[in-house]
Structure 1
């Protein structure tokens, strides 16, 4: 079944996009999604929450992306 790996790749890229804006940022989090949050695939919201809940176990590159995203969202929320 060749479509399963492709579908998984699309889900991971979409999920990583919740945090990441560049290809490098998406690439930084994809291994962490597979390692820590694979059971949450294909639910992008659950994967996002999983990454936040497992922040201490994230690679330093993905942790930077998640932290940057959280700070950005905090800044937007504080403007309201």
Structure 2
């Protein structure tokens, strides 16, 4: 249960959204965080990095909490 509390604290600070409540952030991303990033809980910086690495795999509600990753520059 301690990991769950640490996760919720980490997610609250890790998500790069503006205007979303803490409850909305936690609800949207809890399952994804446990699924993709359980090994890095409770480190909020690592949770953030992990969630961003899995951006394309996140559930739509969680994905909405993050800014999309930048598109690769098409110039070669």
TM-score category (smaller protein): 0.7 to 0.9
Q: Tell me: higher relative CO, structure 1 or 2? Use CA pairs within 8 A at least 6 residues apart.
A: 2
Task: Measure the CA separation in 2 of the matches of 1:63 and 1:9.
Answer: 20
Please name the residue that 1:24 is paired with.
Answer: 24
Task: Measure the CA separation in 2 of the matches of 1:43 and 1:9.
Answer: 12
Task: Measure the CA separation in 2 of the matches of 1:30 and 1:16.
Answer: 8
Structure 2 gap segments, 5+ residues each? 70-76
Please name the residue that 1:34 is paired with.
Answer: 34
| Bigger helix share | 1
Number of corresponding residues: 64
TM-score by length of 1: 0.71
TM-score by length of 2: 0.74
Q: CA deviation at 1:25?
A: 2.0
Instruction: Say whether 1:58 aligns with 2:58.
Output: yes
Structure 1 gap segments, 5+ residues each? 71-80
CA deviations over 1:7-58 (Å, ceiling 9, x no partner): 1121111121021641022210110000000011111110110000110010
Task: Measure the CA separation in 1 of the matches of 2:67 and 2:61.
Answer: 10
The CA RMSD over aligned residues, in Å, is 1.8
Report runs of 4+ in structure 1 exceeding 4 Å deviation: none
